[in-house]
């Protein structure tokens, strides 16, 4: 396989699983092996994204293993700096513990009313604070079945990814997560995901130029497992995965291992 120029990212979105105690226990279970794998292969980044209340506990476990290079990410944040926003977390608070923040996940869009405009404000705030945003986009089943995927993706890209400064545009990560593939055990085909991901890169090229588009990392998400990650990683345009259900089990370590095996081929 041709050597990929972009460093791969395998991120685990733990969603609403594991409070501080369980999160620390699980992190202690996976971090040594995960860290060992990442020492063997440098062109991969792995990011753990526990619930907000468990970030400090997982940070502590990662700090006990300073050589591992495993990064920490939040699952959401607000775009304002501080103030009367009960229940929200500010970018500066996230950046004390994390390198990364997932934004605009379809569950946040569906259950908590997040719009492309809100996601865009959050992404801009993340970049201002030196956080790497993983911005999620993807179409619903009905849109997929009606052949509207391209149109939906085009709209989400134009609005969620607007107005980045030219020099920060390359720091953005996009996760293409078709909603019908999330938690269903029915992953997209590599060809299908690859086609949408190539479209996203083209649109980004139109918005920010070829350098930013070449550096942009685009992940696939939706029912990723140790059995299918290799196929996704073999696609030239797919730079990694955002993993849900399989990220709260030992499977996550296996996914990282399979990714490395594929990239080394
Ligand atoms: P699953 O891997 O459980 O399908 O979830 C994907 C996801 O939503 C990651 O953000």
Residue range 11-54, pLDDT digits in tens: 999 999 999 999 999 999 999 999 999 998 999 999 999 999 99
108 lines ligand 1 (CB under 6 A): no
Is 1 within a domain? no
Is 219 within a domain? yes
Is 150 within a domain? yes
Is 154 within a domain? yes
The pLDDT profile of the chain, 265 residues, written as one tens digit per residue, is 556 789 999 999 999 999 999 999 999 999 999 999 999 899 999 999 999 999 999 999 999 998 899 999 999 999 999 999 999 999 999 999 999 999 999 999 999 999 999 999 999 999 999 999 999 999 999 999 999 999 999 999 999 999 998 778 888 999 999 999 999 999 999 999 999 999 999 999 999 999 999 999 999 999 999 999 999 999 999 999 999 999 999 999 999 999 999 999 8
Q: How many domains does the chain contain in total?
A: 1
Mutate to test the pocket of ligand 1, among 14, 182, 193, 241 (most ligand atoms within 8 A of CB): 182
CA of 83 to the centre of ligand 1 (A): 32
pLDDT value of residue 1:
56
pLDDT value of residue 252:
98
Is 84 within a domain? yes
pLDDT value of residue 67:
84
The atom number, within ligand 1, closest to the CA of 247 reads 2
Is 3 within a domain? no
59 lines ligand 1 (CB under 6 A): no
15 lines ligand 1 (CB under 6 A): no
CA of 22 to the centre of ligand 1 (A): 20
Name the residue at shortest CA distance from atom 2 of ligand 1: 244
CA of 23 to the centre of ligand 1 (A): 18
Residue 127 belongs to a domain with what CATH number? 3.20.20.70
Is 2 within a domain? no
Q: Among all residues, which ones are annotated catalytic?
A: 105, 177
Name the residue at shortest CA distance from atom 1 of ligand 1: 244
pTM of the model: 0.97
Please provide the DSSP assignment of the chain as one string: -PPPSSPEEEEEE--S---HHHHHHHHHHHHHHHHHHHHH-SSEEEEEE--GGGHHHHHHHHHTSTTS--EEEES---SSSSSS-TT---HHHHHHH-SEEEES-HHHHHHH---HHHHHHHHHHHHHTT-EEEEEE---HHHHHTT-HHHHHHHHHHHHT-S--TTTGGG-EEEE--GGGTTSS-PPPHHHHHHHHHHHHHHHHHHHHHHHHHH-EEEEESS--TTTHHHHHHSTT--EEEESGGGGSTHHHHHHHHHHHHHH-
Range of the domain at 206: 8-263
């Amino acid at each position: 396989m041709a050597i990929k120029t972009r460093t791969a990212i395998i991120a685990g979105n733990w969603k609403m699983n594991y409070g501080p105690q369980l999160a620390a226990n699980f992190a202690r279970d996976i971090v040594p092996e995960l860290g060992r794998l990442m020492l063997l292969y440098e062109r991969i980044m792995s990011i753990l994204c526990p619930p907000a209340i468990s970030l400090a506990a997982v940070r502590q476990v990662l700090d006990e293993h300073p050589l591992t290079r495993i990064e920490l990410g939040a699952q959401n944040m607000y775009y304002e700096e501080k103030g009367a926003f009960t229940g929200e977390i500010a970018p500066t608070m996230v950046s004390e513990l994390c390198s990364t923040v997932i934004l605009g996940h379809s569950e946040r869009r569906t259950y908590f009313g997040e719009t492309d405009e809100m996601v865009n404000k959050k992404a801009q705030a993340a970049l201002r604070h030196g956080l790497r945003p993983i911005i999620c986009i993807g179409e619903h089943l009905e849109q997929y079945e009606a052949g509207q995927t391209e149109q939906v993706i085009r709209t989400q890209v134009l609005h969620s990814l607007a107005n980045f400064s030219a020099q920060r545009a390359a720091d953005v990560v996009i996760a293409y997560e078709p909603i019908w593939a999330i938690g269903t055990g029915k992953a997209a085909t590599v060809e299908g995901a690859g086609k949408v991901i190539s479209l996203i890169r083209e649109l980004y090229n139109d918005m920010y130029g070829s350098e930013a588009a070449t550096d942009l990392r685009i992940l696939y998400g939706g029912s990723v497992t140790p059995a299918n990650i290799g196929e996704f990683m073999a696609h030239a345009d797919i730079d990694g995965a955002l993993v849900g259900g399989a990220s709260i089990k030992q499977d996550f370590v296996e996914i990282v291992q399979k990714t490395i095996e594929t990239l080394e081929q």
